[in-house]
Amino acid sequence: MVLGDYKIEVAFSPDLFGACDLNNAIVVVIDVLRATSAICTALESGVERVIPVSTLEEALEYQKKGFLVGAERNGEQIPGFDFGNSPYSYKNPELKGKTVVLTTTNGTKAINMAKDADMVVAGAFTNISVLSKWLEEQDKNIVFLCSGWKGRFNLEDSLFAGAVIDRISGNYKYRELSDSALASKYLFHTADADPYKFLRNSSHRKRMHKLNLKKDVKYCLTLDQSTVIPILKGNEMVSLESYYESITS
Amino acid sequence: MVLGDYKIEVAFSPDLFGACDLNNAIVVVIDVLRATSAICTALESGVERVIPVSTLEEALEYQKKGFLVGAERNGEQIPGFDFGNSPYSYKNPELKGKTVVLTTTNGTKAINMAKDADMVVAGAFTNISVLSKWLEEQDKNIVFLCSGWKGRFNLEDSLFAGAVIDRISGNYKYRELSDSALASKYLFHTADADPYKFLRNSSHRKRMHKLNLKKDVKYCLTLDQSTVIPILKGNEMVSLESYYESITS
């Protein structure tokens, strides 16, 4: 590989992440509905750090220690915890400066799965412009990790990967797009005219409509409500701004 | 589930097959470039059965017992075996009535992975019409299993799944298309105008061009050269015709 010769690939599900090449790579974890959208919202609202944990057991441990904890399974908040994973729960000025622990069905597991990569960031339609611009400024390969739904492919996460790839892949430095990256881009082109219509039949959107979460779906599919890029620092998602401050101070 | 209420899903890689629901399902194994195309060609040419094996060790065991054996890894024939997985190797009238053992990088592993399903058939562009028509006549769910490339998503297998789904999903009995089934159908719509152009950048096609297999690629992307549907009977792929004969005689 020469400088300026990078590749882009997409893991359509955590089960495909093992086959990805993490050498000199930024991993973009995607769980549009709703974990990565919620994390963007939380940091945008002034939450200092979100600690993503994979299991309810870990979440309970943090709760016992006095942490605020969000816990969701199958689209619903687990009783006894402070929040689910609705972004609206995190739009709260009282959370400014706080730490929030979060466990969700798919997204937080995906973040933890990626933690050995050079850099792990969270992507969502809500931060798509700032994220795409930043990615293009880095000299790294990019692996998009779609959280999917319990091991399955889902439309909204791959559509988001395609939307970012569409924005950045014109840059000559991305010389190699994997088949999954190409397919994501083509999917985005199909959907571009009307992403809502495109996602109308998606399984997770149907699941969320059943749970009366239409407002959340709309929020999560609205572009650029956040200028925050959440990035993993140790076991915490923090804003890229505070990450840079911490490594330069 | 009521009669006439079936679902279609696509595993974009063998690593995603575990999450598929095999209840009352036909599994369509796809390895367009080139294992399932070669199996169709072999049965069309009069080969009586193709025994797909996962490892070179098994292939060697069969060879020692006197079987004709095809063996391919990374696009190339393994020296010492009778064939690779070029469909042209199997277009040979001398093979009529013979048994051929086959091991390939991805496809034969995928077939063996599916063997506990009710029915396992092989799909390729070369048998797309006869396969699509037959699938629609069955009262079963359908799971498309894309062989991919070493655990990765590939364009040509998912494109084929989408092409079949496009043909059959108008049938009212398929009430549920998974997100992966929808994405495949959208991909096919993107490619429909010019599948060759669509696949121009695909990783496996590039790999095969490097190996000077352009003629094979062209063959494997040409529709309806075969009227055979290969189906798994025990550990052998036979033609659907001889399968039906064996279970009714």
pLDDT in tens, A117-150: 999 999 999 999 999 999 999 999 999 999 999 8
Q: Which of A147, A174, A178, A179 to mutate to test the interface with B (most CBs of B within 10 A)?
A: A179
Cis preceding-peptide flag for A205 (omega within 30 of 0): no
Output the six-digit token pair for A203: 């399984």
8 Å CB contact between B108 and B35 = yes
Inform me whether the C-beta atom of residue A182 falls under 8 Å from chain B C-beta atoms.
yes
CB contact under 8 A, A15 and B12: no
The overall average pLDDT reported for chain B is 93
What is A6-248's CATH topology?
Answer: putative 2-phosphosulfolactate phosphatase (3.90.1560)
**What span, in angstroms and rounded, lies between the C-alpha atoms of B98 and B95?**
5
Inform me whether the C-beta atom of residue B177 falls under 8 Å from chain A C-beta atoms.
yes
For B205-231, what is the mean pLDDT?
A: 89
CB contact under 8 A, B183 and A155: yes
The overall average pLDDT reported for chain A is 93
pLDDT at B67: 98
Q: With a cut of 0.95, is the ipTM above it? A: no
pLDDT over 70 percentage in chain A: 98
- B73-124 confidence digits (pLDDT tens): 999 999 999 999 999 999 999 999 999 999 999 999 999 999 999 999 999 9
- A65-108 confidence digits (pLDDT tens): 999 999 999 999 999 999 999 999 999 999 999 999 999 999 99
pTM over 0.90: yes
CB contact under 8 A, B155 and A179: yes
- Quick one: pLDDT band at residue A219, thresholds 50, 70, 90? very high
H or E element that contains B209: helix B203-210
Question: Domain coordinates of chain A in residue numbers?
Answer: 6-248
Q: CA B133, B111, B151, B86: dihedral to nearest 10 degrees?
A: -80
CB contact under 8 A, A183 and B180: no
Q: Return residues 7-66 of B near A (CB < 8 Å).
A: 10, 12-13, 15-16, 18-19
B186 contacts in A (CB within 8 Å)? 186-187, 190-191, 198
A182 contacts in B (CB within 8 Å)? 155, 201-202
- Quick one: pLDDT band at residue B192, thresholds 50, 70, 90? confident
- B173-184 confidence digits (pLDDT tens): 998 999 999 999
Which of B10, B151, B183 is facing A16, going by the closest CB pair?
A: B151
Q: Is residue B2's pLDDT more than 90?
A: no
pLDDT over 90 percentage in chain B: 84
Inform me whether the C-beta atom of residue A154 falls under 8 Å from chain B C-beta atoms.
yes
Q: Is residue A4's pLDDT more than 70?
A: no
pLDDT at A1: 45
- Quick one: pLDDT band at residue A193, thresholds 50, 70, 90? confident
- B154-175 confidence digits (pLDDT tens): 999 999 999 999 999 999 999 8
For A28-37, what is the mean pLDDT?
A: 96
pLDDT at B1: 44
CB contact under 8 A, A178 and B153: yes
Higher-confidence residue: A42 or A175?
A42
B162 CA to chain A: closest CA distance, Å? 12
A207 SS3 class = helix
Inform me whether the C-beta atom of residue B180 falls under 8 Å from chain A C-beta atoms.
yes
Collect all residues with Cβ–Cβ distance below 8 Å to B99 and sequence separation of at least 6: B47, B48, B49, B50, B51, B67, B68, B236
H or E element that contains B177: strand B174-177
**What span, in angstroms and rounded, lies between the C-alpha atoms of B59 and B56?**
5
**What span, in angstroms and rounded, lies between the C-alpha atoms of B242 and B249?**
10
